Amino acid sequence: MNKDVFAALKANLPKPPIHIIEIGAGIGTMFTRLIEWRLLTNADYLALDEMDENIAYASEWIRNGQSQQLEGGTNRTESDSIARSERGISTSFERADVFDFIQTNPPKSDLLIAHAVLDLFPLPESLPKLFSLTNLWRGSQSTSTA
């Protein structure tokens, strides 16, 4: 949400298609922001949260196009799923504890989003485990214990 962080992210995103995992996705507001900011095209987005209620709400809210400020900030009457489809963006939602998820050999991502959730984890010991979710991680792959 910081303009400098956004500019750095935009400048450093890999060429599409990109695979994104958001941990602590909550009700899907970060995904919606990325769509509104026109940051994503040709992307697979996995929203991960440990609360059933959050995943259920995010899934319904995003799939039914309840985010209102899409395509240049105008209120739209059609579903945002049309805009996502035109830009090749697919979304999936999963309820899981992130460290349990890591142990299941999850798909690797080009971008890991952990907005407003890192402060909940014991650092620095959690970072190698979280980084193991990315394609770029070159560290130890011994993430079998949470």
Domains of the chain: 3-131 (3.40.50.150)
Give pLDDT, residue 81. 55
Query: Which of 31-45, 64-78, 96-110, 129-143 is least confident?
Result: 64-78
**pTM for this model (two decimals):** 0.80
Least confident of 40-44, 53-57, 135-139: 135-139
The C-alpha atoms of residue 45 and residue 47 are separated, in whole angstroms, by 6
Average pLDDT, the chain: 82
Return d(Cα 13, Cα 15) in angstroms, integer.
7
Instruction: Using the predicted structure, report yes or no on whether residue 140 has a pLDDT greater than 50.
Output: no
Provide the pLDDT for residue 132.
93
